[in-house]
Structure 1
Amino acid sequence: MSSSVVEPPRNRRGFLLVAAHTLWLWLLLTPAAAILRGQVHPALPAAVGLVVFAVLYLALVAVTVADLTIRPAVHHGGLVAFALLGVGLAVAYGGGPEGWLVLLMYVAAAGAVAAVPATRGFGWIGGSVVAVLAIGAAHGLSASETAQAALITLLAGAVTLAFSRTARLVEELRRTQRELARTAVEQERLRFARDLHDLLGHTLSLVVVKAEVVRRLVPSDPGRAAAEAADIERIGRTALVEVREAVTGYRERSFGRELDNVRAALADVGITITVRETSRPLGVEADDAFGWVLREGVTNVLRHSRASHCDIEVDVDDGGAVLTIRDDGVGGRPQPGNGLRGLTERLEQAGGQLHVAPVRGGGLLLTARIPHPAGRTVTG
């Protein structure tokens, strides 16, 4: 049983962030208290404007951080209206001692949350800072008070922009991780299907051949028939082990072991075999891949060729390794089934190629090529 960390849905995380932004609205308590004390005139437009400003701020933040579905034009229009409202309130009431310039800090933060790409966010924050300086100068506020408000606006916008960019990068990383996990599962399924086909296809073909031999020998040579039946049992047990190895992902095809198996399989059906090998050893990748190629190629000879002779040749030189399997059967145009498709994928993973074609005079020629890894040379 596998365990995994269950992440909260994006909307839930978003609404938690909106709640955090709600707590940040405490800075608006100063102008709100001034309205309640009667220090702001006219009070009604200021109160309504401040409430609408707070609601718009939370709505704009929620659209982005809670991933709400809304048309971009509506979102951008709301952001512009929010900025105009904040500037209007600051212009109308910024001359008093109630801290109305703080509204521009929220304008900068709202634009930073929604800004994609980041350059727009920097421009929006810069515009908010310029607005603070202009409004402070227009109302004749002290340089220290105006500079303090501008610095707060700059820092709030920059921190919000950095946090927003980090959140987007984290979400992108999560999406990438999910995609990688999905791809890994798909690759493992393909590997298992390919291994299972290559393993059982050859084994079942061999079992059928052996069973036919047993059926022919039972009337005339019961002793040899019993030996062939025992061989079927051995093949079946070996197949079970191979399937378990394929499931765990540690299955490797040794070319030498496969060569011994195909010699016996072809001899059982009366197909003579000629093997030619060079003295140079196969590399690790070629040994494993050629084991699979040999298994599938000889399985096709057993199933379809009706051949009487099969030539297997392995050549290793400085350019790489080449395996050829040729029979003198009925030939014909090979169909790209699961077996050939699986072999092609295996060889491509090792940087190699597979070619299957009919040859003049009958039969098929299967050629597998695998280059040596870069920087590696083979010595005799």
Structure 2
Amino acid sequence: MIGLFTRGAGTAVPYPPSGVDEQTAHRQGMRRGVLFAAIWLWPLVPTFRAIVAGHVHPVLFAVVGLLAFIPLYLAVVVRGFGDPDPVPKPRDHAMLGLLTALGLALALAYGAQPGGWTGLTLYLAAAGAALYPTPWAHLWLVGCVGALIGVGHLHGQHWSEIGDNAFNLVMAGALVLVVRRLMRLVRELRTTRDQLARAAVEQERLRFARDLHDLLGHSLSVIVVKSEVVRRLAERDPAAAAREAADIEQIGRTALTEVRQAITGYRTRAFAAELTGAGAALADAGIETTVRTTDETLPPHLDDAFAWVVREAATNVIRHSGADTCVIALSRPDRWQLEIRDDGRGGAADPAAHGNGLRGLAERLAQVGGALAVIDLSTSHGGTGFVLRATAPEAAR
């Protein structure tokens, strides 16, 4: 009986192989379930042997009844295990009711004859346990035990034999309930796995989009600034223009390398290198830049996050601020703080208003327990300019 219920459980959660649609895989699983359930009908072999040997009378009802009982039993069991919906449908109740009536009729009619006819109640217990959820399945098993005791007592069976049959019935029903529970857990685990896989894909897509924005936004802004410098120098200082053009080529090559690293996921930023690059880019844009740092070493988990803040902030200052000066200050009063302040035209103080760039920075800082603040000095402090402030704790989350 173990093989019956275990295999039946396996067919309840069909997962189609590559190139097979779910409906086709479900039908294939149901057919396999019927096949393996049929194999475990072997306890009925003595019943058929008694019929063939002429020990059962009247034989016609016994043969017709068994031939109807077996496919009906298979249909109910496979239906119970194969339907992910735990609530039986009206046709399920009808099939189980017909199976019960037929099984009890055969057990009552032939229980006193050879062939173990009272054992049909075990199949009734298994069918109900496969179909009904708890606690209804428990009540069904109790009813089947009562029917078994009544049939056995009616036909004069010894109480020890009735007890053995009742024990086998309860164990079979309990096994079905356990396997159904395992089936449900397997379904939930597979559903959770699929959800986690989709979430991982979504997170990777967001990471990729964020990295490309941060990488290409900065690189293209610097290329635009340096191209303007080349255009201004082309006539009066060709040598200087050539040097700037060489820088543009190098920036393009670096951007290609960074994009490849972003695709593979092995991309990190070095804070010190970004400070140098941001200062050079701001200077090329004609923005006087002051950098203030602390003697303390920036923790590794913040080096990458703050490097991205510097890159995005420098890009925004070059592209949007119209500033003449910019101050980049790293300090550590109680928490690490990185502040980029310019004297430009300012902007909205809502990070969401700045598009993907500042949203991406807020997400990066949140991953290390930090936060991002933007302050529009032209509206909130009566001055001019814009402040981008990143804060983060000393210890990694």
Same fold by TM-score greater than 0.5: yes
Inter-partner Cα distance in structure 2 for 1:237 and 1:257 = 16
Kept in 1: contact 2:88–2:131 (CA 8 A): no
Aligned to 1:269: 285
Distance 1:351-1:115 versus aligned 2 partners, 3 A rule: farther
Q: Which residue of 100, 111, 128 corresponds with 2:128?
A: 111
Kept in 2: contact 1:15–1:62 (CA 8 A): no
Aligned to 1:90: 107
Distance 1:6-1:284 versus aligned 2 partners, 3 A rule: farther
Q: Which residue of 161, 184, 187 corresponds with 2:200?
A: 184
1:135 paired to 2:146:
no
Inter-partner Cα distance in structure 1 for 2:90 and 2:220 = 64
Farther off after superposition, 346-355 or 157-166 = 157-166
Q: Which residue of 336, 344, 349 corresponds with 1:321?
A: 336
Q: Which residue of 351, 360, 378 corresponds with 2:369?
A: 351
Letter in 1 for 2:359: R
Distance 1:312-1:24 versus aligned 2 partners, 3 A rule: same
How far has the Cα of 1:91 moved from its partner? 2.8
Aligned to 2:253: 237
1:252 paired to 2:274:
no
Alignment of 1:1-380 (within 5 A): 6=17, 9-35=25-51, 39-67=55-83, 72-117=89-134, 119-318=135-334, 320-333=335-348, 335-359=353-377, 360=381, 361-373=383-395
Letter in 1 for 2:215: L
List runs of 5+ in structure 2 lacking aligned partners: 1-15
Kept in 2: contact 1:17–1:65 (CA 8 A): no
Inter-partner Cα distance in structure 1 for 2:127 and 2:318 = 72
Helix, strand or coil: the match of 1:218?
helix
Distance 1:356-1:83 versus aligned 2 partners, 3 A rule: farther
Kept in 2: contact 1:133–1:146 (CA 8 A): yes
| Length-normalised TM-score, structure 1 | 0.88
Letter in 1 for 2:126: A
Kept in 2: contact 1:34–1:40 (CA 8 A): yes
Inter-partner Cα distance in structure 1 for 2:258 and 2:179 = 53
How far has the Cα of 1:68 moved from its partner? 8.2
List runs of 5+ in structure 1 lacking aligned partners: 376-380
Distance 1:184-1:302 versus aligned 2 partners, 3 A rule: same
Aligned to 1:378: none
Inter-partner Cα distance in structure 2 for 1:68 and 1:263 = 62
Kept in 2: contact 1:297–1:366 (CA 8 A): yes
Deviations 1:260-319 (A, max 9, x none): 00000001111011222233222222111111111111111111111111121222244x
Kept in 1: contact 2:55–2:114 (CA 8 A): no
